Structure 1
Amino acid sequence: MKPKMFLLLFLSLFHLFCSTTSKIVTNPNGVEVILQGKSKGITPVTIELNNFIGEKHLVTFRKDDVLLKKVELDRKVNWFTILLSPLGLGLPLLWLSGANEEYFFDLQILTWSDVFEPKNFESADKKCNSIGFRLPTDMEMKFAYESGLTRKWGESKNLFWTSTRIADGVYHKLDSSLATNQFANELYYTFNSENGVFGKSSPNNAYLIRCVK
C-alpha cells in the first residue's frame, strides 16, 4: 500500500473511532439539549461527541422555546488502546475513547417581576430587595434578550439596570472590569432590551427596573 493511501486510511479510521460518551444532567431536568444545532433529547440525556481531541462542542439548553443557556464542551480523552490488524489489513489502529463523563448544569428558571418606573441604581437595588427579588445580572439579561423574552415586554423596551455576579450567589453593583479606572465606583451596567446592547452609566441616572429571583 502506498504511504499516502496508508495515511489517508489511518486518519479516516482515527477520526471514526474517536468518541466520548457524556451524560448531561440539569437542574431542573426536562430541558432540551441541542448539540451543534441538532436536538439530542431531554435531560437527563447521554450524548456522544464524535470529533477530534480539543474540538469544542456548542451545547444549547432550551425549554418551552426559551433559550436558557449556551455552553461549549471540551472533548476529553482519558485513555487509548492500540488494536493490531483490526480489519485483517495488517494496519495498526489507534482507538481513543474517553471514559464516560457527566456534566451538570444549574438552569434554574428565573422569575421576572413586572417592570417598575425608572429609578437611580441605589433605589432600583432597594426596590428589588423589598419584594424579595434582586437585579438581574448582565448575563441573565443577555439570555432574556437572546431567547426573545425581552421582545414580549412591549412598551418597556428601554434601558434597564443590571448587576454583575462575582461568585455563586454573590452579586455586586460595580463593573469589576473597571477596577483600575478612577471612575470605577461611578459606572454601572445598563442593558438595552430592544437591541441587546450593554452600556455603563452613572448610578445617579434613572432607568427602568426588572427584578429576578
Structure 2
Amino acid sequence: MINRICAWALMGGLIILWLPPGVAASNCQLETSPSGPGVALTRHLGIDCSEQEREARAVDAIQLLQAFKEGKGVDLEGVVIRGDLSLDLLPVGRLPPELEGAKDLQGFEVRLIPGSMKIVNSVVRGAIRYGSTQGLLVVQGPVSFNGTRFEQVVDLSRSVFLQPVTLSGAQFLRESYFVQGRFLRGLYAEKTTFGPHT
C-alpha cells in the first residue's frame, strides 16, 4: 500500500515537472458578463495573467462589432484584441434625439455605437477604422482607452462622442485620426503618446 502511494506521488511530481512553466501555478482570472440583451460584452483579465495566457484568451474584433450591432457596449480590461474593427460595417441608423436639433449634422448617414466603449490596459493588434466619407459615427456611451496600446492605425474621423472620452496613458504606435471629430463632453488625454502623422 505504501509503495502505491509513493508511486502516485512520484508520478504526480513528474507530471508537474513536465508541464510548461507557469501552467501548474497559474493565477490568471477571467471575468466575463452573462449574455443577454443590453448587457455589455465584458472580458477582464487579472494582472496575474501572463502574455501567453492573454494571447490564448484574445478577443476577436468581430466580437466587438457584433456587440455594437446588438446594441451593446464593450467593457474590456487586460485583454488582447485581434483583427481589424471596421465600424463602417455597422448598420445605418437614425440621428439620436439629443442631436436632432444640430442642423450641421442633418442629412448624413449615421452609424451608432449605443453603449460604452471601454478598452482599458489592453493591446489592440489590428486597426480600428470608421471609413465612411458620407456619414457620421455616433458613440452614445462613454469611451475609455486608458493604458491601452494600439499597434495599428486608429481612424475615428467624423465621429461624434456624446459622453466623455478618456485616452489617458494610451499609446498610439501608428497614426491616429480624429478629423472632424466632436467631443461633446470633453476629451482627456493625459500622458497619451501618439504615433507619426497624427
For the superposition of Structure 1 and Structure 2, which TM-score range results when normalised by the shorter chain? under 0.3
- TM-score for the superposition, normalised by structure 1: 0.24
Between Structure 1 and Structure 2, whose CA radius of gyration is higher? 1
Greater RCO between the two (CA within 8 Å, min separation 6)?
1
- TM-score for the superposition, normalised by structure 2: 0.25
Structure with greater proportional strand content = 1
